[in-house]
Amino acid sequence: DTEVTQTPKHLVMGMTNKKSLKCEQHMGHRAMYWYKQKAKKPPELMFVYSYEKLSINESVPSRFSPECPNSSLLNLHLHALQPEDSALYLCASSQPDRVLEKLFFGSGTQLSVL
Amino acid sequence: AQTVTQSQPEMSVQEAETVTLSCTYDTSESDYYLFWYKQPPSRQMILVIRQEAYKQQNATENRFSVNFQKAAKSFSLKISDSQLGDAAMYFCAYRPSPGSSNTGKLIFGQGTTLQVKP
């Protein structure tokens, strides 16, 4: 299994809603990432988990709350989002000690905030 | 801070022809890693090719090759015998060395949209 699975594929939420994005991999990777991507722009790193511990937080607003409950699962909890948070949210995984090893990306969750 | 620049927002190539996508980067480090990722309309980022900065030999992967010029901080991607399936957005990316506190960080350029004409 060489896939990173993200659910849901599409999500529409209001600014007062609470929702969660889910990412799962079964490749034994111990680093997992959340990226945010606007249309026709590069992905922007949000969070990195290494061995289930948060290692990088790119000054992301607190309305985004990551969680890594185990080595296979990564969640992104969303609360009180703004319309400008509408974007494609990509999850990725890799082995943390192998820098040259590629990141495996999921197909993303397209989020629309109304 | 490291930066990655792709100066060509859009490129087009005729099927079966060769095209080169440009990428330059800025870093004060001597050890780092460079990548080209492809993002087709399916939105999934796919690794095309990777290069270790300490290796002088240019990486190749089938029809894809790079021209890595470390002194010039340039990392261009050449696609030979272009195919319709190569149409996608291509991102150049930089990753710091394992000794860096930012080693988990992949820094992307702005991307180049490649159109392949039949």
Please say if the pLDDT value at position B13 is more than 90.
yes
**What number is the average pLDDT over the span A72-78?**
97
Name the residue of chain A whose CA is nearest to B91's CA: A42
Nearest to B105 among A56, A107, A108 (CB): A56
Percent helix, strand and coil across chain B, each to the nearest 5: 5, 50, 45
- The confidence score (pLDDT) of residue B1 equals 77
Identify which of B14, B85, B3, B11 has the alpha carbon closest to the alpha carbon of residue B48. B85
Q: Please tell me which residue of chain B has the smallest CA distance to A33.
A: B104
Give residue A39's identity as a one-letter amino acid code. Answer: A
List of E strands, chain A: 4-7, 10-13, 18-25, 31-37, 44-50, 53-57, 64-70, 73-79, 87-94, 104-105, 109-113
Least confident of A81-85, A100-104, B68-72: A100-104
Q: Which residues of A touch B111 (CB under 8 A)?
A: 40-42
Q: Is the pLDDT at A82 greater than 80, yes or no?
A: yes
Q: Summarize pLDDT for A25-57 with one digit per residue, the tens.
A: 999 999 999 999 999 999 999 999 989 999 889
CA–CA min distance A42, chain B (Å): 5
Q: How confident is the model at residue A1 (pLDDT cuts 50, 70, 90)?
A: low
Test the B interface: residue of A6, A60, A89, A102 with most B CBs within 10 Å:
A102
Q: How far is B76 from chain A, CA to nearest CA, in Å?
A: 17
The predicted-structure confidence for B36-95, as pLDDT tens digits, reads as follows 999 998 888 999 999 988 888 999 999 999 999 999 999 999 999 999 999 999 999 998
Closest by CA to B3, choosing from B22, B25, B36, is B25
3-state secondary structure of B76: strand
Higher pLDDT, B114 or A99: B114
**Number of Cβ atoms within 10 Å of the Cβ of B67:** 14
State the Cα–Cα distance between residues B48 and B38, nearest whole angstrom: 6
Tell if the CB–CB gap between B45 and A103 is shorter than 8 Å.
yes
Q: Residue A6's closest CA among A81, A113, A105, A103?
A: A105
The two structure tokens encoding residue A98: 């192998």
Residue of B44, B50, B104 lying closest to A100 (CB–CB): B50
Dihedral sign for Cα A6, A8, A12, A13, please. Answer: negative
Residue B5 pLDDT more than 90? yes
* CA A31/CA A53 separation, integer angstroms: 9
B63 CB-near residues (< 8 Å, 6+ apart): B79, B80, B81, B82, B83
d(CA A64, CA A46): 9
